[in-house]
Structure 1
Amino acid sequence: MTQPPHDEPTAQSPEELREQVEQTRHELGDTVEALADRADVPARAREKAAELKEQAAVRAGEVKAKAAEAASLVQEKLPDPVKDKAAWTASQARAKAAQAARAWQDKAPEPVRARTAQGARVAQDNRGLLLAAGAALAVTWLVFRRKD
């Protein structure tokens, strides 16, 4: 006959023995489940990817906020003549862009126009991400420019 481990009391009745067996089954089930979770590498990779995606989204939001703050500060410090010139230049640029778009529609082959429209839709759908990436590039450029 085997002796029970020293740290566990022996059962005094069949009911106590059943309770011990049930508790041991429960603990064993938890252990097996934990081991299965650790062995499921694809699931762990998906969890890590989701975690990194969330961190990237938070960081992108922070960068976007900093870029907006920096743009606001620059806008406040610009003299009125520069603001007026920028507004005029922007309206001229929009007019030139509209003129170029009309010329493009008239002269570009259909497959090229379709691909371009698809690319424009993708860019428009991911506008926030593109703006955050542009802001991050601008901030990075400013940081490295100051170090020189």
Structure 2
Amino acid sequence: MLEHVGTAHDDAELAALMVLARKKLYPGQGELALEGISGPVAEGRAAAAVITSKSNVVLWQVLRTGYDRLGFDAIDDEAFAQLVLARIVEPTSKADSLRVLDDLGIPHASLRTMFRSLCRAADRDYRATIASACFAHAVVAGDVSL
């Protein structure tokens, strides 16, 4: 649906019409007041945000907590954990997983260390450790009957 909300002759009128149009577009939609973040400026345009850093710490903490709760922390190999969690965020190649970690703002091991972690995974039978951890988690938290 298209609705004409008015004609602006200057920036002030345009700002007022933009506010009116937003109210019509999202009726009853309030704004969450966030402390330390300014709202729309006088001319009706949103204030510019200042990006001080780029990090998805909360996402990483949630993924890491899930990894640990499943018992995968029994492996005790940080490079392996980073590789696994990066590939949950974005299924990609092992080498490109470093880009995913960079995009998340997570400090990470080097590419060679990541590849060595995969050799350790085979040598130390991480698969059996993970399978045992999954079974232990299912026994405590779920139904193991077929």
Shorter-chain TM range is under 0.3
The two structures have a TM-score, normalised by structure 2, of: 0.23
TM-score of the superposed pair, with normalisation by structure 1: 0.23
Q: Which structure has the higher relative contact order (CA within 8 Å, separation 6+)?
A: 1
Which structure: larger Rg?
1
Whose helix proportion is higher, 1 or 2? Answer: 1
